Amino acid sequence: MTPEIRRILRFGCVGLIGLVVNSGLLWLLTERGHLYYLLSSVAATEVAILVNFVLNHLWTFASLADGQPAVHKLVKFNVVSLGGLLLTISTLFALKQFAGLQYMLANTVAIGFASTWNYVVNRRWTWNTVAAANGVGTRT
């Protein structure tokens, strides 16, 4: 198995943990906290983003250490994830409002779409050791 395939599988495992965190908080905030489901989704997604960053930094992409401070990677990861969040929220809304899916099922589908975006962009920007080695996207 190639290192990249291992990273993709690890990213998927971390994503499943993020899905559990996201879905659990979405349900808790919506059903018990009585927040509007889209507001609950934003909060649940941000918490899942933070959990996913820690796990990806320490496990998925640990072999791609480039000396860049973790806080810089966290900022990049969060920027990428905000794109994923916009994709998740818009897909969740469309699937619930226009396709009539239950919000928890719609959320799971939406997260699947955003996961592809998140891996590709994070691999090419956040944990891109070639770019970092060439000074691209790093501070001098």
Q: Give the model's pLDDT for residue 75.
A: 95
Cβ neighbors of 87 (< 8 A, separation 6 or more) are 110, 113, 114, 117
Unique residue bearing structure tokens 């860049």: 68
The DSSP string of 15-81 is: HHHHHHHHHHHHHIIIIIS---HHHHHHHHHHHHHHHHHHHIIIIISGGG--S--HHHHHHHHHHHH
Q: Give the model's pLDDT for residue 130.
A: 62
Per-residue pLDDT of the chain (140 residues; tens, 9 = 90+): 899 999 999 999 999 999 899 999 999 999 999 999 989 988 998 899 899 999 999 999 999 888 889 999 999 999 998 898 899 899 999 999 999 999 999 988 998 888 889 999 999 999 987 644 444 444 33
**Per-domain boundaries in the chain:** 3-129
Structure tokens, 132: 């970092």
Instruction: Provide the whole-model pTM.
Output: 0.76
Q: Are 29 and 43 in contact (CB under 8 A)?
A: yes
